[in-house]
Amino acid sequence: MATDVIMPQMGFDMKEGTLVRWLKREGDAVRKGEMIAEIETDKAVVEIEAFGSGVLRKTYVGEGQTVPVGYVIGVIAAAGETVGDRPAGGAPPKASPAHHPSPGKGVAAAPASGEAMQRPQSSASHERAGGQPMPASGEAVQRAQSSASLERLKVSPLAKREAEERKIDLAQVTGTGPGGRITREDVVRQATQAGTPAKAGPATPALGAATLRFGETAPLTRMRQAIARNMTRSKQEIPHVYITAAMDMTRAVDLRQQLNEALGAEARVSVNDMVLRACALALRGYPVFNASYTEAGITVHPQINIGMAIALPDGLVAPAILECDKKSVAEIAQASKVLAERARAGRLTAQEYTGATFNVTNLGMHQVESFSAIITPPQTGALAVGAVQQEPVVRGGQVQEASVMRVTLSLDHRAADGAQGALFLKDVRALLENPVRLLL
């Protein structure tokens, strides 16, 4: 039976992917599970595997071409089997709205029934091994114990066994089944990613930093390659506009001190956490910066997920604080700590890797006064945050000392104009200069 190779979705905001390289050529034999192509998402270069065995009979998409998620990029079939010269079904599935005469009804019907399916499942999907008599054999006892620790996870029994077999920590696996249930495929995917470190991009210790020596050329690591490609693409495709604004952080610094006294050492809030919160709130009023530009239009993402740039030995990642605008400053502080830890340990989830809709990058800790960031495609904006410095300011005709911070917004001029950027920054400033509003 012919199996289509499709452009996978590697995060909810991924709409398209670029075929970087075919690892197999037309006519090559492939086994199910073998890596057949490298694709590039907005964050990383990822290898995709064959979902069937046979011969890679056709590749419909050339290297360097970008196609929408779900597009058939090739087909695997038996040697004698007939395969089309064009992808079966022609247009990518997302072109289907044209098929919908009454989209309202059709669209509403689907999620509704999906929801009804999920509810009963969440309560029935895991077993309570503790409540059952222990089976006799040692093997069985082990099984029972391992399921007890997973009680709060929605996971299929087979996925659980597979995870034990492959020594995968289920807490790190993103479930793709109904209601986020972890399926066997999810575990296998995680395992193959862990096995080939660079697959999901950065941060696995094995990746390490390339050791650079004078007089020698070090090969590029996957993360370097990905960053190089992404940044080059950004600078080639996105006409950047940079707008810098200074803000008086005196009150924010005071508030932060009060917060930290109240919250205790465990929950310390940084200035950056406050900036993240201010950005998230300001983005609500400027959806164009929480969006992606394509020729088809400007797609505004349903969630505000702010990517927080984290430096790693050999590059950086910008994992997302999901639904950042719905989190309090303290929650953001907590989330950013956890993300930083997990990023360094190489244990981010796919959604965290690829889910950011707007990036914030901060070099203030290195006393950088101001700088500008390159937008990470397909985002439309990025904020570069400098250090908070003591400067003289004129207030009511008097020279006073104030804590001043400079931020620079990079915006995609195809999607938005400078004035919009300026207004967005004005909102950010208003929030940070009247920081109690961050607590509302």
Partner 1 sequence: MAETYDVAVIGAGPGGYIAAIRAAQLGMRTAVIERGALGGVCLNIGCIPSKALLRNAEVVNLARHGETFGITYRDVQFDMGKAVDRSRAVVERMVKGVAFLLRKHKIEVIAGQARLTAPGKIAIDTSGQQVSARNIIIATGARNRDLPSLAADGKAVITSTEALALRTPPRHIAIIGGGAVGVEFAYYFRAYGSEVTVVELLPRLVPQEDEEVSRHLERALAKQGIAVRTGAGVTGAEHAGGRVRLALSAGEPVECDTVLLGVGVRPNSEGLGLEALGVAMERGNIVINERMATNVPGLCAIGDVTGKLLLAHVASAQGVAAVEGIAGLAPRALRYEDMPRATYCQPQAASIGLTEAQARERGYEIKTSKAALMASGKAVALGETDGFVKIVADAKTGEVLGAHMLGHDVSELLGEVAVTRLLEGTALELGRAVHPHPTISESLMEAGLGIYGESLNV
Among 39, 44, 50, 159, binds partner 1 (CB under 8 A): 159
Say if strands 310-312 and 358-362 run parallel, antiparallel, or are unpaired.
Answer: unpaired
- Applying CB under 8 A, does 136 fall inside the site for partner 1? yes
Nearest of 378, 195, 405, 209 to residue 294 by alpha carbon: 378
For residue 323, state whether it binds partner 1 (rule: CB under 8 A).
no
Instruction: Give yes or no for residue 127 binding partner 1 (CB under 8 A).
Output: yes
Those residues with Cβ within 8 angstroms of residue 285's Cβ, 6 or more apart along the chain or in another chain: 424, 427
Q: Is 302 in the site for partner 1 (CB under 8 A)?
A: no
Any idea what DSSP says for residue 206? Answer: G
- C-alpha dihedral sign at 28, 32, 34, 38: positive
Q: Is 102 in the site for partner 1 (CB under 8 A)?
A: yes
Specify the stretch interacting with partner 1 by CB under 8 A; choose among 158-166, 209-217, 262-270, 298-306: 158-166
Number of residues near partner 1 (by CB under 8 A):
48
Taking the complex as a whole, the smallest distance from the CB of residue 95 to partner 1 amounts, in Å, to 8
For position 88 contacting partner 1 by CB under 8 A, the verdict is: yes
Q: Which of 16, 162, 314, 412 binds partner 1 (CB under 8 A)?
A: 162
- From residue 154, give the alpha-carbon distance in Å to each of 122, 141, 173, 341: 7, 21, 11, 24
236 belongs to the binding site for partner 1 (CB under 8 A): no
8 Å CB contact between 28 and 81 = no
Alpha carbons 111 and 352: distance in angstroms, whole number: 24
> In Å, how far are 8, 233, 275 from 227, measured between CA atoms?
20, 10, 25
Least distance from C-beta 54 to partner 1, angstroms?
13
Chain-centre distance for alpha carbon 308? 10
- Kindly state whether residue 91 participates in binding partner 1, applying the rule CB under 8 A: yes
260: enclosing H helix or E strand: helix 250-263
Q: Which of 25, 62, 79, 97 binds partner 1 (CB under 8 A)?
A: 97
* Cβ count within 10 A of residue 99: 10
Using the rule CB under 8 A, is 397 a contact of partner 1?
A: no
Q: Which of 8, 34, 35, 84 binds partner 1 (CB under 8 A)?
A: 84
* Contact track, partner 1, 169-188, x by CB under 8 A: --------------xx----
123 binds partner 1, rule: CB under 8 A: no
Q: Quick check: 192 binds partner 1 (CB under 8 A)?
A: no
Q: CB of 90: closest distance to partner 1 in angstroms?
A: 3
Q: Closer to partner 1 by CB, 88 or 365: give it.
A: 88
Strand partners, 67: 17
In contact, 76 and 49? CB cutoff 8 Å: no
Contact between 352 and partner 1 (CB under 8 A)? Answer: no
Catalytic residues, by residue number, are 413
Q: Which of 39, 72, 274, 320 binds partner 1 (CB under 8 A)?
A: 72
How far apart, in whole angstroms, are the C-alpha atoms of residue 320 and residue 315?
Answer: 17
Is residue 1 a contact point for partner 1 (CB under 8 A)? yes
Cα dihedral 139/141/146/150 (nearest 10): 140
- SS3 state of residue 157: helix
State the nearest-atom distance from the C-beta of 285 to partner 1, in Å.
31
Give residues with Cβ within 8 angstroms of 161, minimum separation 6: 143
Residues that bind partner 1 (CB under 8 A): 1-4, 72, 75, 81-86, 88-91, 93-94, 96-106, 109-110, 127, 132, 135-137, 139-140, 143, 156-159, 161-162, 165, 183-184
